[in-house]
């Protein structure tokens, strides 16, 4: 069923702290994407990781794709209030690769 489980479900931290959120599956994915969704808005794509073991950096955000392509992590350094939002991971279905399977997300709150 290609379920993606994200943890933690909720995370509340102070500005300046570091954090890591996780996206795990028992299934192999050809790629994984990370999105951020703010209240009242649709998800916005942050990154796509394709190769097992791949690491991508986007300013203070570091994304890693597991060697076995079953998991991914997002690390944020020195979090800022503007990082607040729902972080979603998603991967393409085996059956129809334009069907993106989303996890339930990690809701991050960064307090000033």
Partner 1 sequence: ETGVTQSPTHLIKTRGQQVTLRCSSQSGHNTVSWYQQALGQGPQFIFQYYREEENGRGNFPPRFSGLQFPNYSSELNVNALELDDSALYLCASSSQSVANEKLFFGSGTQLSVL
102 forms part of the interface with partner 1 (CB under 8 A): yes
CB of 102 to partner 1, least distance (A): 3
CB of 15 to partner 1, least distance (A): 26
Decide whether 75 or 107 has the Cβ nearer to partner 1: 107
Burial of 58 (0-12, 13-18, 19+ CB in 10 A): exposed
97 forms part of the interface with partner 1 (CB under 8 A): yes
User: What is the rounded distance in angstroms from the CA atom of residue 69 to the CA atom of residue 111?
Assistant: 33
């Amino acid at each position: 069923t290609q379920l993606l489980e994200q943890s933690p479900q909720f995370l509340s931290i102070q500005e300046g702290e570091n954090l890591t959120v996780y996206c795990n599956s028992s299934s192999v994915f050809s790629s994984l994407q990370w999105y951020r969704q703010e209240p009242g808005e649709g998800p916005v794509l942050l990154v796509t990781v394709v190769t097992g073991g791949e690491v991508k950096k986007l300013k203070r955000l570091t994304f890693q794709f597991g060697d076995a392509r079953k998991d991914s992590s997002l690390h944020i350094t020195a979090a800022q209030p503007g990082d607040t939002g729902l972080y979603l991971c998603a991967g393409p279905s085996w059956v129809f690769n334009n069907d993106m399977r989303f996890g339930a997300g990690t809701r991050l709150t960064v307090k000033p």
